[in-house]
Every structure is written in structure tokens, then in C-alpha cells.
Structure 1
């Protein structure tokens, strides 16, 4: 059992030192412009090696107390993005009350400190992610999970009251540290 623990620690350490994550693109869109619109949705460079994301989704019908999020991870295999490892749909309000889903807890912890949506429902304000930078993801995410180098996409679909309202797709590249 001890060697198994050391192996996991070794791989976590290995990916932290040798992996670099960078945002390559972000796409935000709405399926219902009377419900939500994006005031901000962009990537900005901090320096040559790190970038951050800003998202500001303006909600026109508040309060919101029924949110479902579909989260999918894709990997580019030179023939386009194909599903990779994660395809989860959660009731966001229930999740925020009781964070039992370990995959979604890991994803949520990446941006929890950079958002105003870090409380339970109802939401009576806009959805904001402010300055989510790659350094946080490298230190929090890649140290826990060994990730194969390559291009990935995180696709999210946001439904409110069981109606598909918006999507946020974030594209990243995991590569060797330079």
C-alpha cells in the first residue's frame, strides 16, 4: 500500500513540475438573450506564460433557484475534439449545498475563489468569474491529476428551469514547462 501512495505522489509531483497549462480560447454564448447576455467573455495575457479569464453573464430574470450544468471534457486527437474522461450533469443548487460529486468539486474548486457564484441558490445577481488565471489551475488541478499533454476543451451548458440558456467553452493546452 505504501508504494502505491508514493507512486501517486510521484506522478502528482511529476505533472506539477513538467506540465504547463495555458488558455487558448474561450467561447460564451446564449440561447435565450431575454434571459442572459455576456458582457465579458475573454482571455487576457498576464505575461508570456500565463493568461486569465474574465466572464460576466448578465442575468435579466432573477432570482434563479433552479440551475443545471452539463460539464464535458474533450481532448483534441488531430481529428477534432472527442469526449475524454468526464461527462457530468448536475443540479448546481443541490451541488452548492452539498458538494458530494468529487469530479465537480475538483472543477468547482478551480474557480470558486474567482467567482461571485460561490454560495447556494437563489442567485439574485449576475454571474461573474474574475481573473481566473492559469497559475491557480496548475497548482490546484494538475498536481492532483496527471494529465497527458495536448489540447483540451471544457464544454459547459447552463440550463435554468430546465431550459438551455447559455454555454461556456474553455480551450486549454497542456504542455511541457519552458
Structure 2
């Protein structure tokens, strides 16, 4: 059993060393623009191999608490199909103690330095992801989830008081490491 675990850890490190991640698409949407709206939701190319994401969520009803998020990792194979992760968590409880959910913690630490999601609920201000770039995925995300080259999606559904409020879908491509 320990040998299998070591193999997964080593393959994860090799994936992180030998692969390149690039954002290919980004979709943001809301079911109730009176609750929150996306003022920014786009990918910007820095150069041929690196892109970053900017998202600005304008909260219309504050304070925002009792937030649940469903995260699904999807792999493209004649349509996006579930792959490895499908987790639903209470975002407010998670922010109080990030160590309780290691998969969500890994995803959170990939973007926390590029956002203002750095404190517990309630949120009385707009939510900003500023220059969230693909290098964050290469160094943090792939170290722990072994993947093969291909197209992937990270689908996030956002609920507040158990009511669907919106979504953010990140589309990425994982390929062999590109030389700069």
C-alpha cells in the first residue's frame, strides 16, 4: 500500500515538473443578477504560453454568508465527463478551518494569493480574482492530482442559503512543458 502511495506522489511531482497548464476558456454566470453580477470575467494572454484570469464579482446583497460551493473536475472525452473530484463544501466553515478538507485546501491555495477571499464569512465587499495565472496550477494543483495531457474543466457552482446563485467554469489544457 505504501509503495502505491509513493508511486502516486512521485507521479504527481513528475507531472508538475513535466507539464504545462494553460487556460483555454472561462465562463461565469449568475441566476440572479440582483444577488451578484460578474463585472469582469475574462482571460488575458501574457505571451504565447501563459495567460491569466481576472474576475470581479459585484455583490448586490451583503453580507454574504451561508455559502456552499460544488467543485467538479471534468475531463474532455467527447464532452466533459467527471474526473477524480466532485466535492461540495460549506465555504464559510472551510475558511474557518482549511485543514479539514485537503482537496479544497489545495484548490484554495492555488488562487488565494490572487484574490481577496482571505477571511471568513460574512463577505461585505466585492470578490476579486486579479491576475490568477496558469503558473499557480502548475506549481500547486498538479503536484497532488496526477493528470495526463488533455482538456479539463473545473466547474464551480455557487449556492447561498441552498439556492443556486451562479457558476464559474475554468477550462484548461494540460500538455508537455513548453520552453520559454
TM-score (norm. length: structure 1): 0.93
1:44 shift after superposition: 0.4
1:6 shift after superposition: 5.7
Structure 1: tracts of 5 or more residues without a match? none
Q: How many residues align?
A: 177
Matched, 1:110 2:101: no
Structure 2: tracts of 5 or more residues without a match? none
1:162 shift after superposition: 1.7
Q: Give the Cα–Cα distance (whole angstroms) in 1 for the partners of residues 142 and 135 of structure 2.
A: 10
Q: Give the Cα–Cα distance (whole angstroms) in 2 for the partners of residues 141 and 53 of structure 1.
A: 16
Matched, 1:141 2:164: no
Cα 1:35–1:9 shift into 2, 3 Å: closer
Greater mean deviation of Cα atoms: 99-108 or 140-149: 140-149
Partner of residue 14, structure 2:
14
Greater mean deviation of Cα atoms: 139-148 or 35-44: 139-148
What secondary structure is seen at the aligned counterpart in 2 of 1:143? helix
Greater mean deviation of Cα atoms: 153-162 or 19-28: 153-162
Partner of residue 98, structure 1:
97
Q: Give the Cα–Cα distance (whole angstroms) in 2 for the partners of residues 160 and 3 of structure 1.
A: 42
Partner of residue 48, structure 1:
48
Partner of residue 126, structure 2:
126
Partner of residue 35, structure 1:
35
1:88 shift after superposition: 0.8
The superposition leaves residues 2-43 of structure 1 with CA deviations (integer Å, 9 ceiling, x where unpaired) of 866764453233212221100000000010011111000000
